[in-house]
Structures are given as structure tokens and as C-alpha cells.
Amino acid sequence: MDEIDRRILAALQANAEKSVADIATIAGVSQTPCWKRIKKMEERGLIKKRAVLLEPAEIGLRLIGFVQIKAEQHSDAWLKKFTAAIADIPEIIECHRMTGDVDYLLKIVAPDMDGYDVVYRRLISSIDLSDVSVSFSMERLKETTELPLAHANLKSKGARRT
């Protein structure tokens, strides 16, 4: 990995719909080497996928919540059941295993409070939890999917994936 790869990744993060010709121009290489580099990064798993980002409020998902969960237990069986339960609830768009007092943090989207309650009831009926609390976003001040490539160690092969 080098600065050319960095420029390719920055261009793709900014707009994955750009043509290979446009990306090659930004990266300072011709189209064929650019395309080969992109394919190599996809094969390595560095580029996970390309997606369209939707505005949640425009499709009726106006409520964004951050659900803090304390686990009932900490066994592999419980974790597998929990992972299956959250995978089955499309309104849960992120889940992180945390350090500190909270075991898991979920990001959910819902149309309104009643919609959140449906998600909450599905979750608690699927798995035993010790404690569940939620905070709702009042205003989104920053949101990006672009990772800061200036800090990336692109030469390392053992980077941990989450």
C-alpha cells in the first residue's frame, strides 16, 4: 500500500460511484493499474463493499436511538443467541461490544417512539438482558462513513477487522 492506494480509497469513500477513469485521475495513475489496485483491495477485504447511503428522515426513520445493554450472562451460548437476535431486527443498524459498565451499545432507527417500542419488545422477548437503557438523538451534528486515511497504517497486513 502506498500514497496512490490512499488517494484511491479517499476517492472511493467520498463517492463510490466515480468511474475508474475519474479515480485514476485523482490517484495519478492510468485506468488499468487503478482498476487492478481496487480489485486487489476488494480481494484483501480492505474494501468491504460499496453502498448507497440513505437519509433516514426522508424514508420515515426520524428516531435514532443508542441502546445500552448489560448482559444477563457472559457465555458463548448467550453471545450466539444475542448475535442472532440482533441480526433478526433490521432497525438495529450497529452493535458494539463495549468496555466499562455497559456490555453492548446498539444504534437503532425507528419511525417514532412506538416504532422503538416494537424494537425493544422484540429484543427483550428474544434474549435475557440484565439492563436496557436508551438515549435518543435530538440532532445529528456530524455523520460520515469516511475513515481518516491520514492516520491509517496501510502497510500493515494484520489490521483487525470489526
Contacts of 117 (CB under 8 A, 6+ apart): none
152 pLDDT tier (thresholds 50, 70, 90): confident
Tens digits of residue pLDDT in 1-60: 789 999 999 999 999 999 999 999 999 999 999 999 999 999 999 999 999 999 999 999
Do 20 and 34 contact (CB within 8 A), yes or no?
yes
Domain extents in the chain:
3-52, 56-136
Amino acid at 69: I
Q: What is the dotted CATH code of the domain comprising 56-136? A: 3.30.70.920
Q: DSSP for 31-54?
A: HHHHHHHHHHHHHHTSS----PPP
Give pLDDT, residue 162.
Answer: 44
The C-alpha atoms of residue 104 and residue 115 are separated, in whole angstroms, by 21
154 pLDDT tier (thresholds 50, 70, 90): low
The C-alpha atoms of residue 36 and residue 147 are separated, in whole angstroms, by 22
The C-alpha atoms of residue 73 and residue 104 are separated, in whole angstroms, by 12
How far, rounded to the nearest angstrom, does the alpha carbon of residue 116 sit from its chain's CA centroid?
Answer: 20
Q: Which fold has domain 3-52?
A: Arc Repressor Mutant, subunit A (1.10.10)
Angle at 161 between CA 156 and CA 162, to 5 degrees: 150
What DSSP state is assigned to residue 154? T
Q: How far is CA 36 from CA 86, 91, 134, in A?
A: 37, 36, 45
- Region 85-112: mean pLDDT is 98
Tens digits of residue pLDDT in 110-151: 999 999 999 999 999 999 999 999 999 999 999 999 999 988
Give pLDDT, residue 155.
Answer: 59
Do 137 and 64 contact (CB within 8 A), yes or no?
yes
